[in-house]
Structure 1
Amino acid sequence: MTEATRRTPGTPCWVSLMVHGLDATQEFYRALFGWEFVPGPQQLGPYVRALLDGKEVAGIGQLPPDRHLPVAWTPYLATDDAHETAEAIRSCGGTVAVGPIDAAEAGRMAICSDPTGAVFGVWQAELHHGIAAAGPPGTPVWNELLTYETSAVGKFYRTVFGFEAEPVDSADFDRMTLHVAGRPVASLHGVGTALARDRGAHWMTSFEVADTDAAAHLVAELGGQVLRPPGEATRGRHALVSDPEGAVFTIVHSTASAAA
């Protein structure tokens, strides 16, 4: 993908994190993923874009001191019209918490939540088209919604963004894959009462790493936590970790990467 590529509506196109300690957070992710940072739009306060080999892969902003919001990675879904998408979100039972607002010449954005409370962003690209590299270690490679059950919330995302939804046929799993133009782009996972009460429904971003075990060890060395140790899964060897401020994410050495 290139920076000039306008994403098809519904495609996850960016991930962003709002934290209290911007400098310390940059040091953590620089050491973990090899990111470098450049200034980004400052409409919501200090904000930097993370670069990997000169290509934009994520954003990190600083929360105002008086804002005690959960620190979490937030995926952004592409749209051709942020205003129309915001209206559709409201009409389908979701909430628009911020925006749509202009992010300088980069584009327009909104911060929203689905009817179960899971937070996500909406991005209408102008000059900034989102993640410019996906696949190499240090890049976001997948987003999954952890929710109570997939059928009702799946209808919300299908209606708002036009996803094609493919349920996973299993008596043991409540999982649904979302497709855009025939290509899988995200998934919904219903976990019922196993959903953490202190978090509720939430989106989870996975970042590619060259070695899951080594990356998990590094997370702990850098002051983060390993919440679920490395293990094998459908998409490869993964671990659930958090950064020093508590933002939870998945690190994965994907099967595709291992075969490449």
Structure 2
Amino acid sequence: MPAFQALEGMPYWQDLATGDAQKSAYFYSKLLGWDVSGDAYRIARKEGLPVAGFISQLEDPTMTDAWVTYFLARDVDRVVVGVDKRGGSVLAVADVSLGRMALCADPAGAVFGVIEPAGEDQFVAAGEPGTPVWHEYVAIDRGRECIDFYAELFDWEVEESEGYFVVLADGAPFLGMRDESGSADLEGVAGFWETYLGVDNVELAARRAAELGGEVLAGPEASPFGRLVVVQDTTGATVTLCEVATPVNEDELDEAESLLR
């Protein structure tokens, strides 16, 4: 599986904050082929590369299970100063095995994180089945203000087209943001980051999620990203599964070409 080097301000990691880490880990390992290890903090791997973490939430009836997107930072402490300065809040800062991490909230209360990796390598598994393929912010309360908050905090290059905001690095998009302010369906929701995880067949993934005790909330359906299905997992967190092609192994291509010569 190839790994991609992330740049500062790009999505780098994702944690599932869950009321039952063991139950969540089982669901995603069976759905996406993840190998999950660890106790207090579980790390999921795909073909040996770290993909995501599972962290147990304290028993709090006001907390809901949710995926949290972490953005790469060279200096977490500098970024959290920027969070405070721009009207957000810093919920926690800690040094963990992965590096220095901070859990934050934007001006509307949507949760996100920043991470300064422990090592020099800044590679992530992404873009193929079993790994994150897209990240999207849904702005609801104080929508445009929150979109500007992230753009300024991470110094993003943002392009808008018909109400959808695409964030670019060297001309290539790496995440999206949409303003759903005033949406009746999302009334009372502050806003949230959404993780898209790749699957090779979205119909099969939807059926498998239901067999494992999850629930299909929307789809499968076509979208500009490909075929999607929105699933609620066995502890209540939602995730979008997106059909993507399995990359061709270059060594296999070389072998096939040699046979044709």
TM-score, structure 2 normalization? 0.87
Q: Does the CA contact (< 8 Å) of 1:219 and 1:226 recur in 2? A: yes
1:107/1:128 contact within 8 Å kept:
no
Matched residue pairs, number?
Answer: 245
Deviations 1:136-193 (A, max 9, x none): 211111110111375322221121101001001x2xxx21011234331111111222
Greater C-alpha Rg: 2
- Pairing 1:145–2:137 present: yes
**Which residue is 1:233 aligned to?**
223
Partner of 1:21: 20
What residue in structure 2 maps to residue 109 of structure 1?
101
- Residue 187, structure 1, aligned to residue 186, structure 2: no
Match for residue 166 of structure 1 among 148, 151, 159: 159
SS of the equivalent of 1:49 reads strand
Counterparts of residues 5-154 of structure 1 (less than 5 Å) = 5=5, 7-39=6-38, 46-66=40-60, 68-99=62-93, 101-104=94-97, 106-127=98-119, 132-148=124-140, 151-154=144-147
Change in CA separation of 1:88 and 1:53 when aligned onto 2, cut-off 3 Å: same
Relative to structure 1, the CA distance from residue 235 to residue 66 in structure 2 (aligned partners, 3 Å threshold; closer, same or farther) is: closer
TM-fit CA distance, 1:221: 1.0
C-alpha distance in structure 1 between counterparts of 2:60 and 2:194, whole Å: 26
Aligned to 1:244: 234
Give 1:57 deviation, angstroms: 0.6
Cα distance change on mapping 1:259 and 1:167 into 2, 3 Å = farther
Matching residue of 2:252: none
Aligned to 2:207: 217
Quick check: 2:129–2:200 contact (8 Å CA) kept in 1? yes
The 1:147/1:129 distance shift into structure 2, 3 A limit, reads: farther
User: Identical aligned pairs, as a percentage?
Assistant: 30
**2:191 corresponding residue in structure 1:** 201
Contact 2:143-2:181 at 8 Å conserved across structures: no
Measured after TM superposition, the shift of residue 76 of structure 1 is 0.3
**1:178–1:82 Cα change, 3 Å:** same
Query: 1-side partners of 2:50 and 2:153: how far apart?
Result: 27
AA matched with 1:189: R
Does the 8 Å contact 1:16/1:58 carry over to 2?
yes
Q: TM-score, normalised by structure 1?
A: 0.87
Question: Would the aligned equivalents of 1:147 and 1:202 in 2 still touch at CA under 8 Å?
Answer: yes
Runs of 5+ unmatched residues, structure 1: 41-45
